[in-house]
Structure 1
Amino acid sequence: MRSGEWARDHEALYKLSRDGVITVARLVEFGVPKSTCFRRCRPGRPWQRLLPGVLLLGSGRPTRRQLVDAALLYGGPGAIVTGLEACRRQGLKGPRLASDGVRLLVPASCKVSSVGYVTVERTTRMPRPVVVNGVAMAPLVRAALDECRRFTVYEPVRALLTEAVQRGGLGPEALIRELEAGSDRGSALPREVLSDVLGGARSVAEIDAMAVWRRTGLPEPQWNHELRDAGGRYIGTPDGYFRKVRLAWEIDSYDFHFARTRYAGTLERNSRYTAEGILVLQTLPSRLRSEPGKVAAELVAAYDAAGSRQSSSFFPD
């Protein structure tokens, strides 16, 4: 294109970009002088600089997708998105964080560095990317653990990994394999969480339940064990089941059990337990952390009551 023609063909200029996001190098190839690129990004002018060498052909607030595209252009041809951004784009909600940046994986030979809202991590273990809606990113198992390695507190690691198992469909063993394949840096907290997940927990609340159970001195229950009656009909899958005394422990949260569409199902489940002579202890997940001692005492009391029922022979095992 001859000098100056780009100014009269804004549509062609925009088509070169990713929804308005474009590198200065690409604009120069199209005939826009580098000095003009920078001049048009000054305050009050029509473009804006998002990252070094990456511009937005507009002056409005960039969308999340535009910020992600800018990060990928900044990272170069081999860059892929990882961490929480990749987890969310693959179906997870993830913990709420004060920082809303974008994490990139780039080959070890890449020279770009972290800047602005972009955190760059060089690696010799570049995974095969998955592409969701045009965004190249790390597979969920890698993205989740990349995010977890940066945390120094237990809670967000636990929240993200249990959601990855429960909502994302990842097997705990796959997370362990990915953890073993990487460096030991930042792996202590994910390993601690996964030791509970591998013990049978499928949610954050169930991990808290395991911690409360360890206070009690009671035999370990069967975690998430499916129960059926003598005729093979489904009874329920309690979070914890003490088979010897026929006690079901349910961690009943509003999100997973008492949503309007599931309330009736919860009542029916409890009726099935009662019909089979199974005692039920229901615990709110918030109490597992706010009142662990009281919940542990309630669990012991329920276990003793269930045992007394057993010994009375009204409810044989």
Structure 2
Amino acid sequence: MNPDTPLHPRPLRHLTTAQRRVMSTAQLRAHGVSGAEASARCRPDGPWQQFLPGVVLLHPGPATSEERLHGVLLFAGRPLAERAGAVPAQPGPDAPHAAYADAMITGLAALALHRFSCVPPLPSLDRVDVLVPRTRRLRSTGCARLVRTHALPAAQQISGLPVAPVERALADAVALLRDAGEVRRLLTEAVRGGHCEPASVVRELTAARLLTRPHVVDAVDSLLAEGRAIAEDRLHALVREHGLPDPLWNVDLRLPGGPRLGGVDAYWPAHAVAVELDTRAPRQGEEGSGWSRTERSGEFGEWSEYVRKRERLERLGVTVVHITPKKLRDTAEQQATVVRTALMAAADREPAAYLVVLPR
């Protein structure tokens, strides 16, 4: 008897349909199927077929989209027995995807699972991108294309499969695209469809060193303009739907006869309260962010300008409320409360300096 074959193999019938139809050779051994028996069944006239190295399709016909995804993950995933301190375990209904450890679907396949309408359907994709640690000793083969990373993001579970977050999947897809129109369509749907904010997309593209490509830069410029327009619409809706008084929209503030103090997205002159949309990319500099010193310096300079403007206005008695597009989307009621509180507190503050308000 093969020493890897368990004394009490578990029957295949307890697995889900997709699991019963595609399995790793390690899983088959756990169910009492030796390597020799699996190889015999994968002969040209046999009932099974070798799908990828170490992965067997348990029927003779073509793989379905779901089977391809499971197969790619079985090929790229690091079995639990290989992980430090892990105890080998037979796959079962309590941990059906244990063999997918350290692997997740990314790129166009992941965006299809995230229900992007502008990507090709799963059956038409020749290859499935799978994200793995850079130390994984595998090579792309068949329909599995490996994408390596220093640090895996937290996977999202879609239909029981580990899938990369939208921002990471976008970056991995864009890295392989040369058509500016395709890149623009992907980024636009990411924002319009509410999948993510422009700033988080820019952060991921920057970390992937993709902003050196002119067609990606052009698409990002359109993305940022699109994202600001959506954020402005949400700010208008917040004022309207939460019963706030109408402000002056999109104005410049100046001292009489003095220099420009800066532009704000909404301003209530009678209350000396301003709202500014913070549409910068998220602040960077964390370990592993992938940003160069020059990029971090530029981002810090932009943040410093925000701080200087706010300090100038607050010294003149203006309350400045910063709101990010993500907060507008996810916590609109809370942001409305913040603005309302600032307006109500105006009566208890010293009168602000007189400012000239001009259209921006």
TM-score scaled by length of structure 1: 0.57
1:78 maps to 2:102: yes
For 2:65 and 2:217, the matched residues in 1 are separated by 32
Evaluate the alpha carbon distance shift between residue 163 and residue 64 of structure 1 in structure 2; reply closer, same or farther with a 3 A threshold.
same
Higher mean displacement: 191-200 or 97-106: 97-106
| Alignment match of 1:147 (pick from 152, 173, 179) | 173
Q: Does 1:133 align with 2:147?
A: no
Deviation at 1:201, TM superposition (A): 6.8
Code of the residue aligned with 2:58 in structure 1: it is: L
Q: CA deviation at 1:56?
A: 1.5
Task: Name the SS of the counterpart of 2:140 in structure 1.
Answer: coil
Alignment of 1:209-228 (within 5 A): none
**Alpha-carbon deviations, 1:68-110, whole Å to 9, x = none?**
0000000012111001111111121233387432101101110
For 2:71, give the aligned amino acid: A
Does structure 1 retain, via aligned residues, the 8 Å contact 2:128–2:144?
yes
Pick the aligned partner of 1:178 from 196, 201, 204.
204
Measured after TM superposition, the shift of residue 187 of structure 1 is: 5.0
One of 96, 115, 127 as aligned partner of 1:91:
115
Shift of 1:14: 4.3
Letter matched to residue 64 of structure 2: T
- Equivalence for 1:13: 12
**Conserved 8 A contact 2:210-2:216:** no
**Partner Cα separation in structure 2 for residue 137 and residue 188 of structure 1:** 29
103-112 or 185-194, which deviates more = 185-194
Query: CA contact under 8 A between 1:200 and 1:224: conserved in structure 2?
Result: no
Decide whether the 8 Å contact of 2:2 with 2:34 is kept in 1.
Answer: no
How big is the shift at 1:182? 2.6
Aligned-partner Cα distance in 2 for 1:153–1:34:
45
CA–CA distance in 2 between the matches of 1:198 and 1:12? 54
Supply the distance in 1 between the matched residues of 2:212 and 2:52 (Cα, whole angstroms). Answer: 28
Deviation at 1:23, TM superposition (A): 0.7
Amino acid at match of 1:107: P
The 5-angstrom pairing of residues 51-62 of structure 1 reads 51-62=52-63
Change beyond 3 A, Cα 1:124–1:227: closer
Residue 65 of structure 2 corresponds to residue 39 of structure 1: no
| Identity %, equivalent residues | 30
Q: Which one of 115, 139, 142 corresponds to residue 113 of structure 1?
A: 139
Aligned residues: 208
- Calculate the aligned-residue CA RMSD, in Å: 3.4
Query: Partner letter of residue 20 of structure 1?
Result: R
Structure 1 unmatched runs, 5+: 204-222, 234-317
